[in-house]
Amino acid sequence: VSLSMDELSRRIAVLKKEMNAVILAHYYTLPEIQQVADVVGDSLALARAAEQIDADVIVFAGVYFMGETAKILNPGKLVLMPDRNAGCPLADSCPPEDFRKFRAEHPGAVAITYINSTAELKALSDITCTSSNAERIVGMIPEETPIIFGPDRNLGGYIARKLNREILLWQGFCYVHDAYSASVIENACAMNPEAELIAHPECREEVLRLASFVGSTQALLDHTVASGATSFIVATEPGILYEMQRRSPGKTFIPAPRDSRPGGSICTQMKQNTLEKLYRCMLDRSPEITVPEPLRSEALKPVRRMLEMSA
């Protein structure tokens, strides 16, 4: 029998108490998931929350690298995910062996790796970053030190332009954000002249150049609350519109179109987190996310460095 959303939410709340669990969710998950979560945030906030949790169980509604990072940071906890096949294609686009070669071609360079990466890739890196601290972290590296950055070329390129600094980029991208083009977005802006265009740095350069504000999901959300504008075209995964609208009920939010049809560019993997699967994973205490040693300890080093540098 399939249970109603209300019944699932009720049972999840009961299980949460029984299991002494905390539910973390990313802003791109479905509204009903965000509603039952204890913490909803961007990648940095969720990593920080995961590190500090002292409940017995962490239930992570996000994509695989997020659950994996939670386990890396807090290995004593049982980490569950509603769907362990919800992977981030960007994270999976950078095979560790190829990255090892890329590093070897640039001896002496510091490797800064986006948190959207596998544990194996993190273990090959010096520092991780998220979209909310990438600029700060790159800015802390001495001018004369070369930097290699992966896997997202759009975020890396954005930081390079912002800091006027050469960065050697791995050529990965997020299919959700890379799908936006300047021409389609310009058209949306022309049709909504009063709206402010805001964009995530995983978007292409041609889109970022048009935006009046660029930032992580949390920074975009904060901006929509603080800005005097009353309508926004939002060039990031439209799951964030739920919280934007909740925080600013009087404002209008338009998902940036990816082509001539209305609607945004959806992250299918984030939407694999359904309420039903969230309930099931708690009931079954599975799928559990594990990271074997010594991989975990090796992957922890660059993540810790990031947290120290962005304190």
The answer to whether 34 and 207 have CB atoms below 8 angstroms apart is: no
Nearest residue (CB) to ligand SF4, 125 versus 216: 216
Please, are residues 235 and 203 in contact by the beta-carbon 8 Å criterion?
A: yes
Shortest separation between residue 58's beta carbon and ligand 13P, angstroms: 17
DSSP conformational letter for 57:
E
Q: Does 154 bind ligand 13P (CB under 6 A)?
A: no
Among ligand 13P, ligand SF4, none, the one that 89 touches (CB under a kind-dependent 5 to 8 A) is ligand SF4
The 157-196 site mask, x for binding ligand 13P (CB under 6 A), equals -----------------x----------------------
Residue 131 touches ligand 13P, criterion: CB under 6 A: yes
- Minimum separation from the CB atom of position 68 to ligand SF4 (A): 13
Which partner from the list ligand 13P, ligand SF4, none does 68 bind, CB cut-off 5 to 8 Å by kind? none
Region near ligand 13P per CB under 6 A, out of 29-37, 52-60, 130-138, 292-300: 130-138
Greatest extent of the chain over all pairs of C-alpha atoms, in Å: 63
Sequence-separated (6 or more) residues with CB below 8 Å from residue 72:
119, 122, 291, 296, 299, 300, 303
Distance CA 76, CA 73 (A): 9
Stretch that binds ligand 13P, among 9-17, 76-84, 129-137, 292-300 (CB under 6 A): 129-137
Kindly give the pairing relationship between strand 147-150 and strand 168-169: parallel
Q: Per-residue contact track with ligand SF4, 169 to 188, x per CB under 6 A?
A: -----xxx------------
User: Which residue, among 63, 54, 24, has the nearest Cα to 40 in the 3D structure?
Assistant: 24
CB of 182 to ligand 13P, least distance (A): 20
Give the C-alpha separation, 240 to 71, whole Å.
25
Can you spell out the DSSP letters for 250-277?
TSEEEEPPSSSSSS----TTGGG--HHH
**List of residues contacting ligand 13P (CB under 6 A):** 42-43, 88, 116, 130-132, 174, 200, 202, 216-217
